[in-house]
Amino acid sequence: MTVAKRKEALELRKTMKPLMEKRRRARINDSLNHLKNLILPLTGRDKTRYSKLEKADILEMTVRFLGDIPPVNTKNSYREGYKACLQRVSSLLPKTSLDQDACQRVNDFVQQSMSATVTPTCLNCCAQSSRTFPQIHQRLLSLKSSFSSRPELQSRCGGGAVAPSRAQSGPQPVSAAMWRPW
């Protein structure tokens, strides 16, 4: 590489570095602003009173909120995941090329399994391998749905209606890594 090319590369780096730093700071500020808009309603605070929060305050509020989320019983978490799997099997069953007798046997098994209780060995396995993220995710979803069901908050915060979820008796899908029997 020639001296002229090195100087040119150095000059380019000198001009690009401040631009990259400016973009990085803008991304951080946008993310913090988005986090503030998410966390204020969940903590029951009015957005208009907290329009000028410091970055550290936003992060502290978020950490406190996540720390206050109560743990969910792993037995229920396992049971919900198992039932979600069974419901998925029963919904996909008609789309398969299985004969009528095989479909009926699988459907009978699914119905029987949905009414059965979880065995202690399954509970031990679940307790050892479940993670906390699904619990946090479920808690946030329930808070979001309770927030969206209050019209006075929707009009103030500009929130729209949340898409209707599956029937309340059925388990909610969990998208994080968690041990499942399949």
The pLDDT value recorded for residue 146 is 58
User: Domain range holding 50?
Assistant: 3-68
pLDDT at 41 over 60: yes
Q: State the helix-helix crossing angle for 133-148 and 3-42, rounded to 10 degrees.
A: 60
Mean local confidence (pLDDT), 103-108: 83
Alpha carbon distance 105, 99 (integer Å): 10
What is the CATH classification number for the domain harbouring 16?
4.10.280.10
Residue 159 lies in a domain: no
The confidence band for 138, taking pLDDT boundaries of 50, 70 and 90, is low
Same domain, 45 and 82: no
The pLDDT value recorded for residue 3 is 86
State the burial class of residue 39 (Cβ atoms within 10 Å of its Cβ: 0-12, 13-18, 19+): buried
Residue 181 lies in a domain: no
The pLDDT value recorded for residue 23 is 95
Same domain, 84 and 45: no
Only one residue has tokens 């994080």, namely: 176
Q: Return the structure tokens found at 39.
A: 């966390």
More confident call, 9 vs 132: 9
The confidence band for 156, taking pLDDT boundaries of 50, 70 and 90, is very low
Q: How large a percentage of the chain has pLDDT more than 90?
A: 19
Same domain, 121 and 61: no
Residue 162 lies in a domain: no
Same domain, 83 and 144: yes
* Averaged pLDDT of the chain: 73
Same domain, 64 and 79: no
The pLDDT value recorded for residue 133 is 56
Same domain, 87 and 63: no
